[in-house]
Amino acid sequence: MNAINEFDLIEKQEMRSKFLERIDILETVGGLLTLPNTDLMTTKMVAEFYQVGFEAIKTAYSRNRDELMESGAKTVSSLDLQELKSKVQNATLLGQAKSVTVFTARAVLNVGMLLRDSPVAKELRSQILNTLEIVPDEVKVQAIEQEQKLSQWLLQYK
């Protein structure tokens, strides 16, 4: 099995899907600020989190809509938007638009695995890769055998 790399996370949905539960990593790269009384972020908030322009998030969403929707992103409009505005109790955060795209933490994580040029997204992918222990079984066995030999050798000189 080959080691996974940053390119795999950017390019392969099946790789990204393996790490969608690791929302804890979002806190290591920067604190999430969500809409009050919710666990949601707007497109603008996600752009600010990843230090990219609004259009970068909008483009990532439009190109990967199905994947991001599976992760919890959605566009709310009409009655759902009115309900969200009343829950947030600060309509200015949601603007005057007739619809707003919102992201759960899981969807925010997913976006970070898609963005190429964001320094925060690069750090996020680095953190994900640092948490992995993708090592072939043969290498693990060799490492254990080496450790045992070293232990035996050290015991001889005690």
For 85-122, write each residue's pLDDT tens digit.
888 877 677 778 889 999 999 999 999 999 999 999 99
pLDDT tops 90 at residue 149: no
Dist. CA 31–CA 119, nearest whole Å? 15
Highest mean pLDDT among 53-67, 70-84, 117-131: 53-67
In this predicted model, which residue has the larger pLDDT, 136 or 12? 12
pLDDT-based confidence at 40, cuts 50/70/90? very high
CB contact set of 29 (below 8 Å; sequence gap of 6+) = 112, 120, 123, 124, 127
**Which pTM does this prediction carry?**
0.79
